Structure 1
Amino acid sequence: MHKVDELAYIGISAKDLDVWSKYAEEVLGQAVTADSDSSNLYLRMDERHHRFIVHPADNEPEDVCYVGWQVRNATELDAVATQLEAAGVHVIEGTPEEAATRRVLGFAHFTDPHSGVRMELSYGPEVTFQPPYRPARPISGFVTGAQGLGHFVTYVPDVDAAERFYSETLGFSTTDSPSIAGVGKIASFMSCNPRHHSLAFFANPEPKRRTYHVMLEHTSIDDVGSAFDICQSQGDVKVQLGRHNNDRMFSFYAKNPSGWLFEIGWGARTIDPDTFAAEHYTIGGGSGMGEWGHAGLMESHG
């Protein structure tokens, strides 16, 4: 099975790039690169040239406009694309101009038949050795490296069908699935490296937007606390501080300038992708949520 290795980058459609630039620096602590322009706002959080690109929304909704999954090389990209084509998904080769914008050697893209999100397969990301990444505000930094930038969570009509699709075409493995008594499985969390999950989706046939949230993991609990204070003072916290039962993440959720959510966290467990066995848990009943805090979590779904 040929597979993706990490969540590499995310594209965002936004109405106001200046607002996003200020937000990235003052709230997230990410750096705006010197080569950003009116069409591409590059946000940096580690040694990569960028992890986010913010584009003018024009007539598009303010949402994640594409999700970039990294593979090892051009041969692996072709192999994964072949698996997608065999599943009836049309894969389009990216143009040299598009690859230059994303700062990769090559990429292809397709539309996820379940979520409707544009997914990209890329290899050869640009690494910036000098100048080194310096946070725009005092934070320790982010957990990236072999775990990728974090995780992306979206919505699908049929969780089981989406789970099979990502397993059979992109090589994801299911780490766990929450259920509601009398209803059944409501979501799936999937991994492609030691991060507990890089992708997750919840059952919702008619969501208000494609994106539920994107998670960023800090290297220090104090980074989460300072971000919480900033977001709380601005009235943007939608889910209070708490700890998840599945990935053990200590986090909160806050609205960004485009209206969807960032989960800002610390302390998640990692897994061994070769030996980890899938888990499940039940929401409700005698065990409650099986975690503490995170008031507003159920209400945060769009």
Structure 2
Amino acid sequence: MKSEATTTASVFGAVHLGYLVIETNRFADWRRFGTEAIGMHHDTVSRDLMRFRLDDQECRFLLRRGPAEDVVATGWHVDDHAAFHEIEARVRAHGVPLVQGTDEETALRGVERLLRFPGPKGIAQEIYTTPVKSTEPLRMLASGFVTGDSGMGHIALTSTRPTQIRGYFDTVFDARLTDSIDETISGVKLKIRFLRVNERHHTIAVAATRGLPIDPIRTRVQHLNIQAATLDDVAQSYQRVHDLGFDMALSVGQHTNDKELSYYARTPSGFEWEVGWNPLVIDETTWEPSTHQGISDWGHLPVGRTIVDKLTQFRVGARSLTRREDTVPALSGAGIADD
């Protein structure tokens, strides 16, 4: 339940994934991965900053030099000032601090104004209303990417406290549960919940182990997704990833729930990057949540995993038992029933 101090106007449908900020010291590898493998437009800003574009928005991925090797901020495009102020009011009403982005920060992200506040797993959440459009023609190997009303894709998190993460995105963005998947991987039973904030089947996925609450993923995000314009774009980028020697995490396959055809590559920072095509678009008048068995109808087979990889993942999971996951309690909500 949301605090009585918050207002009641829904922002569902007015929020779209707009950009991601990644911190890395592997600039040469990331430039090659982003441009030559995935096929995005690249802009060098400085020795310590670079950006990727998918469309006419000036920035979709901002990479800054630093040790995290992870996504450190999520940028949310909000349709109008009314929805922007509604989200701001909710965060303030729960006693969570907001910081206004500096002129340099807004310029780097290609937006006119932004507000930042804490998010789950230490990923800062940033909201903005007006993206800056670039007049520079796109230079990229891909024919295009699908953004628009659905946003630019999705992010997936692993969590030991999935109910609190669902509560967070419900409190802030009125996120809705689309569906769930039960899956067993290497003997570990998982529940994956898919949350939508607009017509895209999901913009946030939250995976959790059943039973002992462990987090087997080192990075804050398990993977991120972008949507290719054509099936040929998926196939050609898959071939480029392979030919250039980047690690493939999962082969081409099709998901059970959103029917997206995709593959997963491993980024230079270690988290996975999904390139997909043609996922379902939700019809709010008819959709009902359901639970699927298994993540894929076909394909999505692990590529090149060794016993060393599995042992490393086990050690990461074991270490997660000794640290508390940050869910931003003030915004994590109450009354979201587990399923």
Q: Shorter-chain TM-score: what band?
A: 0.7 to 0.9
- Asked if 1:215 is matched to 2:225, the reply is yes
In the TM superposition, residue 37 of structure 1 has moved relative to its aligned partner by 1.7
Pick from 87, 93, 106 the counterpart of residue 86 of structure 1. 93
Following TM superposition, the consecutive aligned residue runs of length 4 or more in structure 1 with deviations greater than 6 angstroms are none
Deviation per residue, 1:224-267 (Å, 9 max, x gap): 11111122231511111110011101111011111111011112
Secondary structure at 1:104 match in 2: coil
Question: Aligned pair in 2 of structure 1 residues 140, 190: CA closer, same or farther (>3 Å)?
Answer: same
User: 1:104 maps to which residue?
Assistant: 111
Secondary structure at 1:47 match in 2: coil
In the TM superposition, residue 101 of structure 1 has moved relative to its aligned partner by 2.0
Deviation per residue, 1:195-242 (Å, 9 max, x gap): 111111112644311011111111111111111112223151111111
In the TM superposition, residue 50 of structure 1 has moved relative to its aligned partner by 1.7
User: 2:299 maps to which residue?
Assistant: 293
- Unmatched runs of 5 consecutive residues or more in structure 1: 284-288
Structure possessing the higher relative contact order (Cα contacts under 8 Å, 6 or more residues apart): 2
Q: Distance in 1 between matches of 2:105 and 2:296?
A: 44
Aligned pairs for 1:1-302 (under 5 A) are: 1-3=10-12, 4-33=14-43, 36-57=45-66, 60-112=67-119, 114-128=120-134, 130-135=135-140, 137=141, 139-179=142-182, 186-203=191-208, 205-206=214-215, 207-233=217-243, 234-273=245-284, 275-283=286-294, 289=295, 291-296=297-302
Aligned-pair Cα RMSD in Å: 2.4
TM-score, normalised to structure 1's length?
A: 0.87
Q: Distance in 1 between matches of 2:65 and 2:205?
A: 26
In the TM superposition, residue 276 of structure 1 has moved relative to its aligned partner by 2.6
Q: Distance in 2 between matches of 1:167 and 1:274?
A: 19
Question: Aligned pair in 2 of structure 1 residues 93, 273: CA closer, same or farther (>3 Å)?
Answer: farther
Q: Return the letter of the residue paired with 1:188.
A: R
Secondary structure at 1:105 match in 2: coil
274-283 vs 69-78, which deviates more? 274-283
Q: How many pairs align?
A: 288
Q: Distance in 2 between matches of 1:84 and 1:177?
A: 27
Q: Distance in 2 between matches of 1:295 and 1:22?
A: 25
Secondary structure at 1:36 match in 2: strand
* Contact in 2 for aligned 1:191/1:273 (Cα 8 Å): no
* Contact in 2 for aligned 1:49/1:103 (Cα 8 Å): yes
Secondary structure at 2:122 match in 1: coil
Deviation per residue, 1:122-141 (Å, 9 max, x gap): 1111012x333232x2x321
Q: Distance in 1 between matches of 2:97 and 2:104?
A: 21
* Contact in 2 for aligned 1:159/1:186 (Cα 8 Å): no
Q: Distance in 1 between matches of 2:232 and 2:183?
A: 34
Deviation per residue, 1:68-94 (Å, 9 max, x gap): 011123442221022123344332222
TM-score, normalised to structure 2's length?
A: 0.78
Question: Aligned pair in 2 of structure 1 residues 68, 235: CA closer, same or farther (>3 Å)?
Answer: closer
Question: Aligned pair in 2 of structure 1 residues 195, 232: CA closer, same or farther (>3 Å)?
Answer: same
Q: Distance in 2 between matches of 1:161 and 1:9?
A: 24
In the TM superposition, residue 278 of structure 1 has moved relative to its aligned partner by 2.0
Secondary structure at 2:133 match in 1: coil
* Contact in 1 for aligned 2:256/2:292 (Cα 8 Å): no
69-78 vs 45-54, which deviates more? 69-78
